[in-house]
Amino acid sequence: MDRAVGHAHGAVEAGAGLGEDETDGYQVGLNYGLAPGITLKGGVTFWDVEANIDAAASENTATEFIIGTSLSF
């Protein structure tokens, strides 16, 4: 059975007025061949956003979970 694991990281800084906004993203994903023509997929992504305003309402984090199945005939 086929297996694959991948990861990624992205970061962005944007200057605006008095400071910079920053966004960081981290992702891990996998594919697993369960049987011929059936692949299970999954992943998790984490986001961290910081604004130059330093207000709690402008700072956010998020976590996404993704699962799926691929069928091919």
Q: How many domains does the chain have?
A: 1
pTM of this prediction?
Answer: 0.72
**8-58, pLDDT tens digit by residue?**
999 988 876 667 788 899 999 999 999 999 999 999 999 998 877 666 667
Per the structure, the complete domain to which residue 12 belongs is given by 3-71
CA 37, distance to chain mean position in Å, is 26
pLDDT-derived band at 64, boundaries 50, 70, 90: very high
Total Cβ atoms within 10 A of residue 44: 14
pLDDT of residue 52: 73
Q: How many CA atoms lie within 13 A of 44 on its CB side?
A: 2
Q: How many CA atoms lie within 13 A of 41 on its CB side?
A: 9
Are 42 and 64 in contact by the 8 Å Cβ rule? The answer is no
